[in-house]
Structure 1
Amino acid sequence: MTDFALTTFSSKGKLLQIEYALNAVAKGDTAIGIKAKNGVVLVVEKKQSSILIEESSVQKIASLTDNIAATYAGLGPDFRVLSQQARKLVKKYDLKYQEEIFVQTLSRELAEDVQIATQRGGIRPFGVSILIAGYDEEGPHLVQLDPSGAYYSWKATAIGKQAKNAKAFLEKRYNADMEIEDAINTALLTLKEGFEGQITPTNIEVGVIRDDHVFRILPPSQVKDYLEELE
């Protein structure tokens, strides 16, 4: 029964419910983020469980503000809840300070909400890891937030079922001097390396923020052009 006790540590000093949440993340679609000198790119698998599902109804990248967006690996409904919470934090910050929230500030405040879910009875940890990408006055940012409430800034990272192999691939390919176009190609190449089946413009999603501070999800036609460059 201790497996179900959220606030009870195991004999190995672990909270087992968080371990289970991380297992849910490890089974999720792979998502990759890369920070370049002049922007950030997010690339994520978008495979449907059935051919009967409308492709347009599946969105893996969510805009939190004009200059901040996020994607995830794990439970989609949990990500939806946290996305809504993030937008509330943005509004609250704007009303209080009359300025745009910084990426690190939003990440920290959202991480606090995630961490609270690990220590209260009657609720469970969020079964999702999130990649937050944004561009503010301090430059481009890529942050990973995990079910424990831990969050870290990354130069490049991956979450989901192919995370381990993708990170190993990124360690060989990443260059701190790369521009955003190189980052897009590197992210697509990394995802393609461990992709099951044929990668197409409709079963992945690509989001990019450049130094104009506007996050955009690339249309399938543009994703197709990038994929053809890899062949």
Structure 2
Amino acid sequence: MRLILKSILAAGLLVSAIPAGHAVPLLEPSLRLKPHEDAATPRVALTLDACGGQTDNRILSALVENRIPATIFVTGKWLKRNAAALEIMKAHPDLFELENHGGHHVPAVDTPRKIYGISTAGSPDAVTAEVEEGAEALAKNGQPAPKWFRGATAQYSPSAIALIRKLGFKIAGYSLNGDGGSLLSARETARRVAAAKDGDVIIAHINQPTHAAGEGLVKGLLELKAKGVNFVRLDDADGEGTDDTTD
């Protein structure tokens, strides 16, 4: 009995020790393309995160060579380090739509916590700075004003979603996680991507050139292309997101 009471007391102390802000559940919104007139031709939106680091040229080259459009979510950090890849994307404006992934790849959560080991923005002002600095980085590199935002980890506090929407951005969720944060094997990544259905929004990464997932992503995309899938960018199709992220 004493052990049970001690366990209950310890659990209560642990709960009370959690900061109040942490009680707010995080949201990981989904996004799908709205139905279109030509139902016989499946449409899929490929979205790639360029969080930081380098560029996976296996993916970039395959997109250019096979004329596969993509929406690339870039951070200010990535833009500073990948001038050559950026020039390739600029040279193919019909293929690549560059959107806002934040200034420093900080999760858009306005209370302090960690997600996958990454510290969140932690306050409304810091969320605003992350969003606005990402947009400014794109402008400095000659890109049109972004319309979409995707935060690091793709998780948000509800109040941060409202704040980002007030800043004028739609928030890009997804319906199919293609590469598990670029940590999946080539085989599993290819399997997931090749299984995409009409209306899916794929999320994957283009900033991990040493990971096997990049090879699998290319294979899966080519399988979809061979099936007759029509790839579209987010700006070229209406998307419907959950959690008030697009309406």
TM-score (norm 1): 0.31
Bigger share in strand: 1
Normalised TM-score (structure 2): 0.30
If you compute each CA radius of gyration, which structure gives the higher value, 1 or 2?
2
